[in-house]
Structure 1
Amino acid sequence: MLTEEQLLAAPEDDYMNDAQLEFFRNLLLTQAEEVKESLANARAQLASFENEPDELDKASIEEERRMALRFLDRQTKLLPKIMESIKRIDEDDYGFCSVTGEPIGVKRLLLRPTATLCAEEKQRQELKERNYRDA
């Protein structure tokens, strides 16, 4: 299996070859397991919160609960993205922008393996959203 260094050193014309796809599949499968484990831990943490009679303790516990719920929400949204990325690998569609069809790039995929947009398209969409909000 490729290392991250070998992946980054690969020529651009060999983009998303079988070895690279295997690297990202393994990375995504590992992330999926980590997310499932963290979801189980977050759910257990939420279940363990008790009602405290002391107002200060209540506020502290409520803040911890809110943070746990935000974490749970983010992780719950991440898992389907990971599974969709694995599906894109199976369909030989992984690593290419869903809008332009251009390569997303190995560096970007290492930072965000679930990316579906190339950096340029992501910037265009963010700019469009910013302009829409400001209007």
Structure 2
Amino acid sequence: MQADPEAQQLLAMPEEAYMNAAQLDYFRRRLLAEQAEVEGHLEEVRKAIGDNERSGDELDRAAVEEELRLLLRQADRETRLLRKIRQALRRIEEGDYGYCAETGQPIGLPRLLLRPTAELCLEAKERQEQREHHYSKSRGDQ
């Protein structure tokens, strides 16, 4: 994945510059743009849900219900993403952005460039996924 020139500049900064004003400004702008995009798309999904017509034909009703189910799933995913974006913006304002919520260690620019809403460093995320996997295995989900 080729990063934009501004992201390349951020990556070229020394380690001591981690989460300096330029980096925070970059992520704030990126998160605000992503927030606007998700909000716009979510509005389109809500409108599509509202525009769905009920048909008397059973086959048409089944197709409409399937489309509605997919739209609702999409709206749910986007609502969760929007919540994560807003939490990341709040962490920027509070001065916690870029640091692992579990360990307090830097998350790292490469990870944040891929997932600006990341709350956990890679090691903490791997531990979380292992716990989730272990829990689902112990419940017999797999």
- Shorter-chain TM-score tier: over 0.9
How far the C-alpha of 1:96 sits from its partner, in A, is 0.3
User: Which residue identity lines up with residue 88 of structure 1 in the other structure?
Assistant: R
Structure 2's unaligned 5+ residue stretches are: none
Structure 1's unaligned 5+ residue stretches are: none
Query: Is the counterpart of residue 99 in structure 1 residue 105 in structure 2?
Result: no
From 110, 123, 132, the equivalent of 1:120 is 123
Q: Which residue of 1 is the match for residue 16 of structure 2? A: 13
User: Which residue identity lines up with residue 27 of structure 2 in the other structure?
Assistant: F
**Secondary structure at the residue paired with 1:65?**
helix
Query: Is the counterpart of residue 35 in structure 1 residue 38 in structure 2?
Result: yes
Which shifted more, 76-85 or 91-100? 76-85
CA distance in 2, matches of 1:61, 1:9: 51
TM superposition outliers: structure 1 runs of 4+ over 4 Å? none
Deviations 1:38-70 (A, max 9, x none): 111111000010111222222221111111100
Q: What is the percentage of aligned positions where both structures have the same residue? A: 51
CA distance in 1, matches of 2:134, 2:79: 29
The TM-score with structure 1 as length reference comes to 0.93
Q: Which residue of 2 is the match for residue 4 of structure 1? A: 7
Which shifted more, 94-103 or 77-86? 77-86
Q: Calculate the aligned-residue CA RMSD, in Å.
A: 1.2
Q: Which residue of 2 is the match for residue 134 of structure 1? A: 137
User: Which residue identity lines up with residue 51 of structure 1 in the other structure?
Assistant: R
